[in-house]
Amino acid sequence: MQSDVSILYRVEGQKAPQIIEKIGRGYEEVVILPVFRSAVADIAARYYAKDMHTGQRAEIERAIRDLMMHSLKDRGFNIESVLLKSIALPAGLTRAIEEKLEAEQDAQRMQFVLEKERQEAQRRIIEAEGTRDAQKLINEGLTPMLIKFKAIEAFNKLATSPNSKIIVTNGDSPLILSPETNTATPVGRTIQN
């Protein structure tokens, strides 16, 4: 794995003369870079390469910074931040990570579809229960007297209709004779010639 890493640091003002006197002007190559390489090796060993491409990247940067601060604080250096950038994984690993992420997304998508289907099934059950309960209430309320009353209302509407008709009934079910075709049609059914 290859990566460009930037380190933002500063030298503490009161310790700058001691640093130049003891280490020299090449303090970056002598102190900063070796501590940095060691910190990166220690922290990188704790993570998988794929973690560099996830939300753990910031955690890795913080861990490297904290380890460097621990090593350099007493020497007059203050590490402000470590930035991982231009991370290049081997092609096979990159492909494997992408395939794994794709598989995870597919699994999440399937989970969503299954949950949606469960909710739809539950909705249908509730709808069927509502229809059943409504029919039960209607059936409980239908008495022979109510049915007879509704039949009388229907006969009255037929009788006041402007269309010509002949109604033959035994009091329970009407039979309508249509004078145009000389056919009998039981109410609720249509007979075609």
99 & 174 share domain: no
Structure tokens at 153: 């209302």
pLDDT, position 189: 43
Q: Do the domain assignments include residue 16?
A: yes
55 & 23 share domain: yes
Q: Do the domain assignments include residue 193?
A: no
50 & 96 share domain: no
- How far is Cα of residue 123 from the mean position of the Cα atoms in its chain? 19
Domain end (from 54, 69, 89) = 89
pLDDT, position 154: 78
49 & 124 share domain: no
C-alpha to C-alpha distance for 58 and 181, rounded to whole angstroms? 89
Domain end (from 141, 156, 173) = 141
pLDDT, position 16: 86
134 & 169 share domain: no
Q: Do the domain assignments include residue 192?
A: no
C-alpha dihedral sign at 65, 67, 69, 71? negative
11 & 36 share domain: yes
pLDDT, position 190: 42
pLDDT, position 191: 42
Q: Do the domain assignments include residue 159?
A: yes
20 & 64 share domain: yes
pLDDT, position 23: 85
DSSP one-letter string for 112-171: HHHHHHHHHHHHHHHHHHHHHHHHHHHHHH--HHHHHHHHHHHHHHHHHSSS--EEEESS
C-alpha to C-alpha distance for 193 and 183, rounded to whole angstroms? 9
pLDDT, position 181: 53
The residue to which tokens 């059914």 are assigned:
189
131 & 165 share domain: no
| 156: containing domain | 144-186
**Chunked mean pLDDT (size 10), the chain, 193 residues:** 77 86 86 87 78 76 88 86 74 77 92 95 94 86 78 78 70 58 49 42
162 & 135 share domain: no
pLDDT, position 2: 64
Q: How many domains does the chain have?
A: 3
Q: How far apart are the first and last CA of the chain?
A: 86
Please give the model's pTM, rounded to 2 decimal places. 0.46
67 & 24 share domain: yes
